[in-house]
Amino acid sequence: MSRENSLSGRVALVMGVSRRRGVGFALARELSHLGADLFLHSFAAYDAAQPWGADPGGAMSLVSELWQSGQRVEHVDTDLEPPNAPESLVRSATTAFGHIDILIVNHAHAAPGCLEEVTADQIDRHLHVNVRASLLLAKAFAAARRVRCATHVWTACCANARRTSVRS
């Protein structure tokens, strides 16, 4: 099998694919070039409210660009703060493709301003989206993988990146 098709038949759930200039899009593009089908997550409302703004073409322009690789691409735009959102997202990806082989946890929420200006509500949202949702995604992914072989979960936060093995 060539490197270009080394992930043929695999499905990747890639979080945080909302901007062409973002890490999530770069990872999704590389996975697609390697032959993986993609289920993409974005939350455009969050990006639109940030100084960098949402992608000018919107999330569907990113999906269209990734479709050009010839792989199947599905997309959902959702907020990860509600406690049931991660499990619902994994269920949607599993329903769309039948299984998920790769989980890329690349979403993030940051509170604007200096520490002196951060409120308790902003800290709670930060923890709900960045910590709780990430752990619940990994939990739902592991549960969905019970009938398939071992895999990896890749998480990224700021300058830290870590790959964790999940055995089923």
pTM for the model: 0.85
Query: Quick count: other Cβ atoms within 10 Å of Cβ 13?
Result: 27
Tokens of 38: 């993609």
> What are 54-63's pLDDT values in tens digits?
888 888 889 9
Go through the domains of the chain in sequence order and give each one's CATH number.
3-166 (3.40.50.720)
**pLDDT above 70: percentage of residues in the chain:** 85
- In this prediction, residue 40 carries a pLDDT of 97
Question: Which of 109, 41, 106, 48 minimizes the C-alpha distance to 81?
Answer: 109
- In this prediction, residue 159 carries a pLDDT of 38
Taking the C-alpha atoms of residue 123 and residue 14, their distance in angstroms, rounded to an integer, is 25
